Structure formats: structure tokens, C-alpha cells
Amino acid sequence: MEKERDKVVVLDFGGQYSHLIVRRCRELGVYAELLPYDYPADELREGIERERGKGKICGIIFSGSPFSVLDDNAPKCASDVLDFGVPVLGICYGAQLIAHLNGGRVRRGEKKEFGSADFFFKKEERLFRGISDDGGISDDGEQIGKTRVWMSHEDVIEDLGGNGEVIGWTENTPVAAFRIGSNYGVQFHPEVHHTERGKDMLRNFLEICGCERNWQIDEDFVSERVYEIRSVVGSDGKAVCALSGGVDSFTTAVLLHRAIGDRLTCIFIDNGLLRDGEREEVLESLRNTGMKYVFVDASQRFLDALRGVRDAEEKRRIIGKIFIDVFEEEARKIGADFLAQGTIYPDRIESARAGASGGRASRIKSHHNVGALPERLRMKLIEPLRDLYKDEVRKLAKTVGIPDKILRRHPFPGPGLAARIIGEVNAEKLRICRAASAIVEEELRKSGWYERVWQAFAVVGDDMATGVLGDARKEGRIVIVRVVSSEEAMTADFVRLPYEILEKMSRRITNEVEGVTWVAYAISSKPPSTIEPC
């Protein structure tokens, strides 16, 4: 039976790091979940009043936000949340909101503060316990600590309201951290790596909340999910699993197989947009697991439908629709009652389906899993990975014995290579994208970089450039190499690969992939860019 773990909830006011706060808490062994900022106060109170060990909410964290508390349409929670009897930590906008709700004053700052800053704090405060960098002695004789933090704010807290005490500051921000009773606020982001001791601060807050550290991905967790699946499907229900061969869908399939055995049928659809050799690898892995499966080669059906389509969102919509059409046809033959998908947390937020920002998060892209399910699909949905991040899925995959070949494979988008082809998807661009991506991955493996990066692939579009082949000038395609580092795919940075690796990639792509004359390297981060171009 799935445990009702005690937890911390993060109220999401639309900040880009909201999920990162959740992940940091989980990394510290405390279960955390993301809720919209306007989550009903009565339900929060009910969670807080539960007994320990029965899903009790032990603490609340207010996330950052692109809004200002001074905006008329600023997202705000009920003011009595601060009086529910559990500690609250406000981060950036969340800190300003606590001050605002406490009757304090927030004003527009004369100087914006973005980036790294020296942060001075009162060392005796519980929030900063164990952060011992010396910052001297205050005029009042208090010991002061010093560390580097990551600031990202425009507004300034001018007054904290009743019972407020300043416990930290920077050169430009007189109120960079405060305490009001058992509630805390910080004007920086402890959840990001740029804040040197941010994780220690979050650990201290979780200790203030009295949280039990019992969140881990182990055999007990597997047993909980298997029990949950078995309870939902019942003793005679049948399920189908949309299998792509990636770690998410494969882990989902293994969990379902443990729960219901041969009442699970995996459906693997070749949409013609797979990576080089992927079809053969997936089929081999399926045969080795002993799971029932159906293989459908629908590649021509997908490619015919994509002919002439240039818009990225329209391509995703078409791929999603055909995938569901084909999947439904096969599922109907099987007579399945349930559809299992490997949807994870970032999938849901990218499609703005999780409701994590109270409707304020704009849709970035339709996700292949959650964005294209038509109402006509008369199957109940099972998503055993729905609340996990990619690193947690990998831990789970290792626990259930997923082969390393699948476990260590880079994430691959649901729309496949169509997400990496700018403009119309056609045979020539598919050939180039597939072959160039294989070279990128091969060179990273040779150099020992493959497992050090999050994703690595090639992008091809419609732009042409002149090259010299032999003694003749020739026009050919431009290939863009994209290699990024990330932890959760919500944010990503381009990888500073050694020039010799990039040189090998470029030389091999232009020599071995017919029709390519130029190779470029993408140096955009997410945000503002997305990882995949389409």
C-alpha cells in the first residue's frame, strides 16, 4: 500500500525554479510536492492538522514569481496561511509576499539585483546553522556569517510589519533574509547551485519543520507503486503501455508487468522518427524482458501526414493524433481497459497540465504524452511516474533492474526527430538529422563525455550554406549540434565541450553525411531557449 508520507508543500507562484525547490527537498530525504498558489486554504489546513505519518503537511514554501506583489494581478494566497501553525519559507517573491501579508511594505528597488552577491547573516539563527564562514562581529556584538548567494529581484522589502526581524543582508539589499515568528523569508534562491550553502539552508528549514527524512527510491517504493497499480487495474483488467524504449516508458512497463503480469501488453510504434538503430535496440530489449508486446511499423503513415507541415506545434499535434489513432487501433484489438504512460513531472509542467501555477503558466509545447489524448480514448490512464523527476526515474529504473543500455540513454522527445527538424520533415532532413546525431553521440562516448551531459543531438533546418567539396563549390545543409547539461529539464545550459571534440564532430558530419556543408554549435541556454528547437 502506498504510504501517506509527511511532506512539505511548495506553493507555486509561477517562478522558473519552483520544481527545483521540490527536487532539493526530496534530495534531502523529505517528500515535497508542488501545489498552485491558490490551493484551497481549508485543504492545506486539513493536511496540517493530520497526525504524523498520515500525510501531514509539516511546512510550506512560497516560490518565486515573475510578478511583483505590487501588481494588481499579482498571485497571492490566503493571508491566514501564515497562521496555520507550521513554518513557512518565502523565496524571493515569496519572501516579499510574506512581508506584504504581515502588514509590511514592499517598494520598487532603485537598483535591480541579479546574479551572485555576498550575503551576511546572523550565525545564531537556526536557518543558517552550520554555515560558518566568518563575516565578523556586528555593532551589537553578534557573530556574522558570510556566504555567496544568487539574487534575482527588483523589489525591496522596506518594512517587515509586526514582529519582524532582519537576519541577513547584502550590500544593496538591507532585508535579504528575515524571520517573523516561525516564518522565514530570503530574497535569494537557496535552491540553485549558485547559492553556495543554499542546500544547507533548506536542510535547516526542513529540520525547523520537524520533517522526517523517509523519501527514497528503493524496493519499498517499488512495492508501493506495484500495489497501487494492482489496486487500480483489479484482478481481471488489462493494460497497454505505450513503449518508446526510453527509460521512462520502459520503467513504467516493468512496474506494470510486476503488478499484473501478462495482462500487460506493450505497444511499440515505429513512427519513422526514431534515432539510428533505435528500433532494433527496443525490439531486442523487449524480447529479453519476456513482456508481451506488439510492434507496429507506422512510419509511412506519420511521414505522409507531416508532408508540407512547417509549424512546430502543428507537427507535434499531428504526431500526437496519429500516435493515438494507431495506439487505439491496437489497444482495441487487445481489449485493454487501461493505458499506461511514462509521464513524469517535467512533462506535465511543459504542457501546462499540472495546474502548478494556478493557470498562470503558459504552454511552452504540447507534450507527446499528455497533450494529445483525445476524449474518445475510452481507457483509464495510469501514470506511475507522474510525480517523479528524471533523476528519480533513473534511480527507480536501476532498482527494478532496467538494463544499463536503456538506463543511461539520453532523453528523447515524444515527437522524435521531428522535434529536431526545423520546418518540414522530409526524407532528406531525417537522414541527415539521424546520421549526424549518431556521430555526435558516438564522439561523446569515445571521449567519455556521453554520461556527463543531459542530451546531445543534431538539428537540421532549411538553411543552406556554400561549401567546397573537392575543387567545386557546393551548396548544402547547415547542421546545428546541441549538447546541454541539466538536472530536471526545466532549465538547461549548453555544455562547454573541448574544441577537439567539436572539431571531430564537425569533420565527421561534413565528411560522412551527404549534403552537409556547415556545422554550428548551439550556445543558448534554457531559458530563454528550449532544449529541443521544435
pLDDT mean across residues, the chain: 90
Cα-Cα-Cα-Cα dihedral sign, residues 448, 289, 395, 265: positive
Give the range with max mean pLDDT: 99-113, 235-249, 364-378: 235-249
Confidence of residue 141 (pLDDT cuts 50, 70, 90): low
Q: What pLDDT, on the 0 to 100 scale, is given for residue 369?
A: 54
Q: What mean pLDDT do residues 74-90 have? A: 93
Q: Residue 296: pLDDT above 90? A: yes
**Residue type at position 203:** R
Question: What's the pLDDT at 355?
Answer: 42
**To 10 degrees, the CA torsion angle through 36, 40, 42, 44?**
-10
Out of 19, 153, 189, 368, pick the active-site residue.
189
pLDDT of residue 357: 42
Mean of the pLDDT values across residues 175-197?
95
Distances from the Cα of 377 to the Cαs of 212, 330, 332, 339, in angstroms?
Answer: 41, 12, 10, 9
Write out the three cell numbers for 63: 516560490
Share of the chain above pLDDT 70, in %: 91
- Sign of the Cα torsion 452, 455, 458, 462 reads negative
Reported CATH class of domain 421-521: alpha beta
Q: How far is CA 369 from CA 194, 244, 259, in A?
A: 33, 11, 22
Q: Report whether pLDDT(374) > 50.
A: no
Of residues 512 and 243, the one with the higher pLDDT is 512
Least confident residue range of 254-263, 405-414, 450-459: 405-414
For 439-487, the pLDDT digits (tens) are 999 999 999 999 999 999 999 999 999 998 777 888 999 999 999 998 7
- pLDDT at residue 136, as a whole number: 67
Active site residue 191: yes
**What whole-number distance in Å separates Cα of residue 279 and Cα of residue 300?**
15
194 assigned to active site: no
Average pLDDT over residues 17-46: 93
Domain with CATH 3.40.50.880 in the chain: 7-209
Number of helices and strands (H, E) in the chain?
A: 14, 19
Mean pLDDT on 79-103: 94
- pLDDT of 228 reads 95
Q: Which segments of the chain belong to CATH 3.30.300.10?
A: 421-521
Report residue 102's pLDDT band, with 50, 70 and 90 as the boundaries: very high
Residue 358 has a pLDDT of 43
11 φ/ψ angles, rounded to the nearest 5 degrees: -85, 125
Question: What was the pLDDT predicted at 353?
Answer: 35
The answer, yes or no, to whether residue 20 has pLDDT greater than 60, is yes
What is the pLDDT, as a whole number, of residue 145? 92
Catalytic residue among 25, 77, 100, 191: 191
SS3 439: helix
Confirm if 350 and 526 have CB atoms less than 8 A apart: no
Mean pLDDT value across residues 61-70? 93
Q: Please compute the mean of the pLDDT values over residues 228-248 and round it to a whole number.
A: 92
Q: Which of 25, 58, 77, 92 is catalytic?
A: 92
What pLDDT was estimated at residue 79? Answer: 83
Average pLDDT over residues 80-100: 95
User: Does the active-site annotation cover 92?
Assistant: yes
What's the pLDDT score for residue 527?
Answer: 80
Confidence grade of residue 352 (pLDDT, cut at 50, 70, 90): very low
| Percent of the chain topping pLDDT 90 | 68
Domain with CATH 3.40.50.620 in the chain: 219-407
Confidence of residue 377 (pLDDT cuts 50, 70, 90): low
Q: What is the mean pLDDT of residues 209-230?
A: 94
Helix axes 219-233, 390-399, angle to 10 degrees: 90
What's the pLDDT at 43? 94
Polymer length of the chain = 534
The CATH number of 219-407 is 3.40.50.620
- 472, 473, 475, 476: CA torsion to nearest 10: 60
pLDDT of 367 over the 80 cut = no
Domain 7-209 - what CATH class?
Answer: alpha beta
Residues ≥6 apart with Cβ < 8 Å to 143: 122, 123, 124, 137
Question: Is residue 378's pLDDT more than 70?
Answer: yes
**Separation of alpha carbons 385 and 215, rounded Å:** 15
Half-sphere exposure of 478 (CA within 13 A, CB side): 12
